[in-house]
């Protein structure tokens, strides 16, 4: 029996109690949310739970990122936040595990089948949780970067160097059977070209060497549940998507994605990565925050058979949504067509096309992989310089 049950509510001495619902409105094992007014007319959101016929009230807003606790899973007297799984006792508002944050809990009275909640909490929630250091560093660096991008009118000298990040998304398993990859070797070539001919700084990330989890689809719960940096990175101190976030958002001026074609689409690892980047794009929607500033993307797409245009369309659509722009010839592709079933020769054929510029045949040189890759990289490089020097994004946002 809750405190005050079967007693009349003395409104004089109970002015901080607010009627919220009939007991019959909230079934056993369920909950409802309400807004009540506290001192100075401040509105607070509470969740009222029915646990075996007893009623308890805590804040409806999770201490993590404000997820609605009334919509969480109630097991016994513990509710699990529907957004990222933090848990609270609905009796006390406290976390069932040590070191967890707590939320406010509020006294409840039942009077003649009516539920009243006191707007003065019996327990005040506390924030104790600290994400791991790599997560905090990324968060802080991105905040600083955005301040710099929005406010500095003059570029630091070292900002005049163009930095190119290559991301190889092939899933070739080097541990089982080391072999050559057309997409990765074309990317290696492109980065070497940029370094030698354009004096760019380059870094390659091989996605298959990083350990990271699949996107868990928090966006599908609520746009605000998809936070940046990603809640998976916050939870998992081993999550190496942090390297991708750092390099793509903070370091690179150009990102070159290299992918093989798998059943007409990009590699599965590519999709695993970009789904984890939903939180980058989502910042525009939820917080009007543009994490990608003055950056260019380009693509290398290779396969034994067709579908370069389809893959290019998908890649360009996604990276443009993130805020990247493209130079001349933003993608370069290599396939040998529908009838090419001699995959054992595919790599060698591409390599001979890559080195075809050493042949002195003019006609061949204009259409080989070498000259196409060079055009794509030069196209990205030239536009990246223009974009940086002219503060392109800042002018668009102004
Ligand atoms: S766990 Fe509740 S908002 Fe993240």
CATH for 248: 3.40.50.360
**pLDDT on residue 63:** 96
Q: Which of 54, 89, 118 is the last residue of a domain?
A: 118
Ligand 1 geometric centre to CA of 288 (Å): 21
**Residue 79 pLDDT greater than 90, yes or no:** yes
Q: Is 308 found in the same domain as 195? A: yes
Q: Residue 76: give its domain's CATH number.
A: 2.102.10.10
At 363, the pLDDT band (50, 70, 90 cuts) reads very low
Q: Is 188 found in the same domain as 103? A: no
**Residue 384 pLDDT greater than 80, yes or no:** yes
Residue 5 lies in a domain: no
**pLDDT on residue 356:** 65
**pLDDT on residue 364:** 45
Residue nearest to atom 1 of ligand 1 (CA): 84
Least Cα distance to 142 among 273, 252, 285, 249 occurs for: 249
Residue 269 lies in a domain: yes
Rg of the chain in Å (alpha carbons)? 28
**pLDDT tens per residue across span 118-136:** 999 999 999 999 999 999 9
Angle, vertex CA 128, rays to CA 123 and CA 131, nearest 5: 150
The mean pLDDT value for 334-361 works out to: 80
Residue 183 lies in a domain: yes
Q: Which of 118, 143, 167 is the last residue of a domain?
A: 118
Q: Is 157 found in the same domain as 35? A: no
Ligand 1 geometric centre to CA of 105 (Å): 17
Q: Which residues line ligand 1 (CB under 6 A)?
A: 62, 64-67, 81, 83-86
Q: Is 163 found in the same domain as 213? A: yes
**pLDDT tens per residue across span 65-75:** 999 999 999 99
Q: Is 181 found in the same domain as 65? A: no
Residue 275 lies in a domain: yes
Q: Is 355 found in the same domain as 332? A: yes
**pLDDT tens per residue across span 89-124:** 999 999 988 878 999 999 999 999 999 999 999 999
Angle, vertex CA 243, rays to CA 101 and CA 395, nearest 5: 95
Ligand 1 atom with the shortest distance to the CA of 69:
2
pTM listed for this prediction: 0.90
Number of domains into which the chain is organized? 2
Three-class SS state of 242: helix
User: Could you give the CA distance from residue 125 to residue 103 in angstroms, rounded to a whole number?
Assistant: 4
Ligand 1 geometric centre to CA of 224 (Å): 10
Ligand 1 atom with the shortest distance to the CA of 225:
3
The mean pLDDT value for 191-200 works out to: 96
Ligand 1 geometric centre to CA of 232 (Å): 12
**Residue 15 pLDDT greater than 50, yes or no:** yes
Q: Is 295 found in the same domain as 151? A: yes
Q: In the structure encoding, which two tokens stand for residue 21, read together?
A: 């619902």
Q: What is the mean pLDDT of the chain?
A: 91
Q: Is 287 found in the same domain as 154? A: yes
Query: For residue 246, with 0-12 CB atoms within 10 Å meaning exposed, 13-18 middle and 19 or more buried, which class applies?
Result: middle
**pLDDT on residue 43:** 87
Of the listed ranges 114-118, 217-221, 343-347, the one predicted with least confidence: 343-347
According to DSSP, the residues that pair with 75 across neighbouring strands are 78
Residue 202 lies in a domain: yes
**Residue 159 pLDDT greater than 90, yes or no:** no
Residue 1 lies in a domain: no
According to DSSP, the residues that pair with 291 across neighbouring strands are none
Three-class SS state of 227: coil
**Residue 307 pLDDT greater than 80, yes or no:** yes
Residue 10 lies in a domain: no
Question: Residue 91: which domain range?
Answer: 17-118
The mean pLDDT value for 377-382 works out to: 97
Of the listed ranges 88-92, 193-197, 390-394, the one predicted with least confidence: 390-394
């Amino acid at each position: 029996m809750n405190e005050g049950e079967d007693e009349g509510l003395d409104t004089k001495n109970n002015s901080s109690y607010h009627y919220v619902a009939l007991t019959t409105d909230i079934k056993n094992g369920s909950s409802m949310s309400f807004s009540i007014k506290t001192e100075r007319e401040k509105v607070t959101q509470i969740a009222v739970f029915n646990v075996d016929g007893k009623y308890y009230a805590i804040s409806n807003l999770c201490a993590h990122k404000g997820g609605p606790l009334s919509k969480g899973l109630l097991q016994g007297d513990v509710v699990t936040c529907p957004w990222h799984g933090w848990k609270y006792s609905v009796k006390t508002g406290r976390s069932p595990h040590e070191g967890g944050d707590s939320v406010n809990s509020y006294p409840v009275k039942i009077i003649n089948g009516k539920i009243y909640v006191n707007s003065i909490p019996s327990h005040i929630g506390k924030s104790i949780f600290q994400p791991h250091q790599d997560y905090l560093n990324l968060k802080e660096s991105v905040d600083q970067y955005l301040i710099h991008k929005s406010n500095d009118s003059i570029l630091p000298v070292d900002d005049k160097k163009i930095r190119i990040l290559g991301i190889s998304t092939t899933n070739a398993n080097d541990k089982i059977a080391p072999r050559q990859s057309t997409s990765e070797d074309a990317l290696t070539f492109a980065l070497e070209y940029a370094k030698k001919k354009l004096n760019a700084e380059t870094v390659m990330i091989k996605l298959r060497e990083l350990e990271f989890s699949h996107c868990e689809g928090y966006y599908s719960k609520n746009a605000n549940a998809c936070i940046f940096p990603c809640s998976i990175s916050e939870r998992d101190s081993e999550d190496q998507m942090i390297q991708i976030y750092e390099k793509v958002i903070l370091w690179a001026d150009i990102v070159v994605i290299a992918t093989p074609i798998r059943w007409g689409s990009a590699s599965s690892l590519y999709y695993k990565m970009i789904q984890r980047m939903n939180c980058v794009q989502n910042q525009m929607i939820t917080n009007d925050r543009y994490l990608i500033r003055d950056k260019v993307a380009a693509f290398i797409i290779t396969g034994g058979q067709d579908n370069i245009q389809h893959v290019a369309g998908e890649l360009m659509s996604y990276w443009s949504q993130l805020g990247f722009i493209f130079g001349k010839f933003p993608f370069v592709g290599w396939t040998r067509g529908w009838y090419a079933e001699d995959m054992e020769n595919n790599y060698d054929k591409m390599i001979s096309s890559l080195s075809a510029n050493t042949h002195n045949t003019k006609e061949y040189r204009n259409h080989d992989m070498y000259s196409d890759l060079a055009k794509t990289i030069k196209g990205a490089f030239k536009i990246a310089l223009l974009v940086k020097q002219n503060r392109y994004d800042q002018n668009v946002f102004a």
